[in-house]
Amino acid sequence: MRWRTLKKTKQSPPFQNTIIHYAPFAPRALAFLTDLFMIGLPISLLLMSIFGYDQMHTAGAMDVLSNNKAALQNPPNPLSSILQIVLFMLITVELWHRYTQTPGKKLARICVVDAITLKSAPYGKLLVRFIAYFLSLISIVGFFIGFFRKDKRCLHDLLSGTAVIREA
């Protein structure tokens, strides 16, 4: 087979000619806040039933970091805090992988996809995305990078190779 013939038969990716509508900041923020309540609240109630009601009145992570008096008087249970983050991560990553959406993203009509294939991202990329959320949160700038990019991808999207797009 000649090179010219091979070059002509090469197909471009199916999404190359379609217009991709990346999700702007407002629906993404709405989805994030909704997920905090719809996923985080049941996890908190579950942990409260396991560790007891008093666990809900302990000092928070910011109290510990700022060396507040509340942290000295009523220190948080580290097992409860770690379990809460791990459960939130497992549920969120599974929903992203299986449905490309969490309840908040479904409400906002946006999806988390692989930036290259525009299909469901693999677990590895989604785990990196979840962990990179904390980097975006700590730097604050990580969330606002999307304002200056044409594809509206934030720091956690760039680090994980994912994108948030509007539902088709």
Domain boundaries, the chain: 22-166
Separation CA 155–CA 168 (nearest Å): 24
Separation CA 19–CA 17 (nearest Å): 7
Distances (CA, A) of 54 to 33, 50, 59, 67, 77: 25, 11, 11, 21, 10
pTM of this structure: 0.80
pLDDT in tens, the chain (168 residues): 565 555 555 554 555 567 889 999 999 999 999 999 999 999 988 988 888 877 666 666 666 667 777 666 777 677 888 898 999 999 999 999 999 999 999 999 999 999 999 999 999 999 999 999 989 988 888 888 989 999 999 999 999 999 999 987
Q: What is the pLDDT of residue 16?
A: 57
User: For residue 98, what are the contacts with CB-CB under 8 A and spacing of at least 6?
Assistant: 120
Distances (CA, A) of 127 to 52, 69, 82, 130: 30, 35, 16, 5
Q: How many other CB atoms are found less than 10 A from the CB of residue 48?
A: 14
Q: What is the pLDDT of residue 126?
A: 96
Cβ 113 vs Cβ 23: under 8 Å: no
Q: What is the pLDDT of residue 77?
A: 74
Q: What is the pLDDT of residue 56?
A: 65
Place of tokens 């720091």: 155
Q: What is the pLDDT of residue 35?
A: 95
Q: What is the pLDDT of residue 71?
A: 67
